[in-house]
Structure 1
Amino acid sequence: MEDYNKIIESLGVSFIKAKNIKILQPVTIENYYDVENTLILMEKGSIYFGKDKETVREGDLLFIPGGKMVSITYGAGDSVNLTNDDFMSNKEKYFQSTIDNEMMEGAERFSYVNFEAKVFDSVNFFASLDIPPFVIENDKIRSIVKSILGESASDDPGKDRIIKISTDYMVVEIIRFILKNRLFVEQLATNSTYFKDPRLIDIFAFIKEHLGGDLSNKVLANVANVSEDYVGQYFKMLTGINPQDYIEYQRMEMAVTLLRTSKKSIREIGKDVGYKDTAYFCRRFKMMFGIPAGKMRRRESLMNV
């Protein structure tokens, strides 16, 4: 249990946004994807997800780890099948956002909280577990989500502090739910290795600080004080992923952040995250996210309505 306490203590948790959504028309998004973690509370109606169309019933929660692509259907009945790209171009036909749940009485609707949880502010924790989306039946987490939604819609003093505390609490309860129900325990146990080897922590910190620079295995070997031939094997042994794949994920995650928050050109953003060839950056971006970088810029996230 001590290892799990270390995991929780190392996490930097950040609230991104929370909204209530009215479903105007059933829609299936074939390749839903977001960098941040998403926790959806089904208020009325149904959501279906994954290849087997698992059901999220009223009152249940669907947790989608950051970086995990999934097919998801909002609403019962015949749905329109869309890609991320098509949905983002026409989302007002399918979703209506409001801070007032009373305006949605009788309609199919859901709420969601979008958040980050990063180990040492570097590694997207839930993404690093490589776990699929899953349903949560838990009154305590449901209550926390409703509290966050209520605070987000208020103008009361201290709301940001309450939201921060509540989001921290929510993440701890999600991890407790995973442990109590023995979900993905092997992945959690593997991740505890992050906190036993300071050389790995040094590599994570170096990558975070030098995303736009040279992050070859030769450079990482010097950081960890191991041989260039061994550093890739060492990194994969502890994390389950080779270092260059991890670096590309971190670079693309930063690119998404810059696309959403800055006015820099795509060429500048590609350079900032370590890609000298803009065309190559754009190809890799579309391959990872399913949409071009330019279209990602026109959204705050897939679920932002």
Structure 2
Amino acid sequence: MEDYNKIIESLGVRFIKAKNIKILHPLTIENFYDVENTLILPKKGEIKFGKDKETVKEGELLFIPGGKMVSITYGSGEAMRLSNDDFISNRERYFQSLAMDQDDGSAESFSYVTFEAKVFDSVNFFASLDIPPFIIQDEKITSLLKSVIHEDLSENAGKGRVVKICTDYMVVEIVRYILKNRLFVEQLATNSTYFKDPRLIDIFAFIKEEIGGDLSNKVLANVANVSEDYVGQYFKMLTGINPQDYIEYQRMEKAVTLLRTTKKSIRQIGKEVGYKDTAYFCRRFKMMFGIPAGKMRRRESLMNV
């Protein structure tokens, strides 16, 4: 347990957004995907997810770790089937964002919070554990999610600070829930060990700082003080992926952040995260996320409607 205490203490948590959503028409998103973690609370109606269409009942929570692609159905009745790309292009046909006092309980609806949780401010914690989306039954986590949404949608003084505190607390409670219920025991045992290796942590930190620069195995080998021939094997042995795949994911994740938070051109963003060829960057982005970079930016404008 002491090891998990250290991991929790090292977690950097960042609130992204919170929304109350009215479902205008039932729909299934075949390949829902986000780089951030998503916690969903059905308020009226039902949500189903995964190949087996497991139902998330009212009062339960659905947790989708960042980086996990999943089929998700919102609402009951005959659902329109869409790709993530199609949904983003036509989101306003299916979802309506609600202000804090708009929801009268007459229509199917849900609330959600998205957040980032990184170990040593470098590694996406839940994504690194390689755990699937799962249902949470916990009153404390539900209460914290409601507090985050209430504060974020309010005009209360100091709401940003309260949102940060509640999001931090919520993430700790999710980790506690996983440990207390002995969920994903094998994944945790296998995939949390590398957080204890200082050389690997140095590599993570270097990649973050130099995301747009030279991150060849030769450079990483110098950071970890191991041979160039060994660094790829060493990295994969501890993380389960080779370093260049990890670097590409980090670069694309940074690109998503820039698309969401800046008005920089796609060419500028590609260059900033290490891609000199804009066309190649766009191809890799769509291959990873299933949508073009421009539509990822459009998605953010729609999410804020």
Q: Same fold (TM over 0.5)?
A: yes
User: Once the two structures are superposed, what CA deviation does each residue of 1:239-294 show, in whole Å capped at 9, x if it has no partner?
Assistant: 11111111000000001111122222212211111112222111111110001111
Look up the match of 2:296: 296
1:99-138 mapped onto 2 (5 Å cutoff): 99-100=99-100, 103-138=103-138
Between the aligned partners of 1:192 and 1:302, the Cα distance in structure 2 is 36
Are the aligned partners of 2:129 and 2:192 in contact in 1 as well (CA < 8 Å)?
A: no
Change (3 A) 1:206 1:302: farther
Segment of structure 1 superposing worse, 192-201 or 282-291:
192-201
Q: Is 2:289 aligned against 1:284?
A: no
Are the aligned partners of 2:23 and 2:75 in contact in 1 as well (CA < 8 Å)?
A: yes
Question: SS state of the match for residue 103, structure 1?
Answer: coil
Change (3 A) 1:136 1:304: farther
Q: CA deviation at 1:193?
A: 2.3
Between the aligned partners of 2:301 and 2:247, the Cα distance in structure 1 is 22
Structure 2 letter corresponding to 1:282: C
Look up the match of 2:156: 156
User: Once the two structures are superposed, what CA deviation does each residue of 1:10-51 show, in whole Å capped at 9, x if it has no partner?
Assistant: 100011111110111101111111111000011110001111
Question: SS state of the match for residue 29, structure 1?
Answer: strand
Are the aligned partners of 1:251 and 1:273 in contact in 2 as well (CA < 8 Å)?
A: yes
1:41-60 mapped onto 2 (5 Å cutoff): 41-60=41-60
Q: CA deviation at 1:79?
A: 0.6
Are the aligned partners of 1:33 and 1:302 in contact in 2 as well (CA < 8 Å)?
A: no
Are the aligned partners of 1:48 and 1:54 in contact in 2 as well (CA < 8 Å)?
A: yes
Q: CA deviation at 1:192?
A: 3.4
Q: CA deviation at 1:295?
A: 1.3
User: Once the two structures are superposed, what CA deviation does each residue of 1:195-233 show, in whole Å capped at 9, x if it has no partner?
Assistant: 322111110010001111111111100000000111111
Between the aligned partners of 2:210 and 2:91, the Cα distance in structure 1 is 36
Q: Which blocks of at least 5 consecutive residues in structure 2 are unaligned?
A: none
TM-score by length of 1: 0.96
Question: SS state of the match for residue 59, structure 1?
Answer: coil
Change (3 A) 1:260 1:86: same
Question: SS state of the match for residue 299, structure 2?
Answer: coil
Q: CA deviation at 1:301?
A: 7.9
Aligned pairs, how many?
305
Question: SS state of the match for residue 295, structure 1?
Answer: helix
Look up the match of 1:77: 77
Look up the match of 2:13: 13
Look up the match of 1:186: 186
Question: SS state of the match for residue 90, structure 2?
Answer: helix
Structure 2 letter corresponding to 1:231: V
Structure 2 letter corresponding to 1:73: T
Are the aligned partners of 1:20 and 1:101 in contact in 2 as well (CA < 8 Å)?
A: no
Structure 2 letter corresponding to 1:286: K
User: Once the two structures are superposed, what CA deviation does each residue of 1:156-204 show, in whole Å capped at 9, x if it has no partner?
Assistant: 2221111111111100110111111111122222343233221111100
Look up the match of 1:211: 211
Between the aligned partners of 1:215 and 1:302, the Cα distance in structure 2 is 35
Between the aligned partners of 2:17 and 2:101, the Cα distance in structure 1 is 16
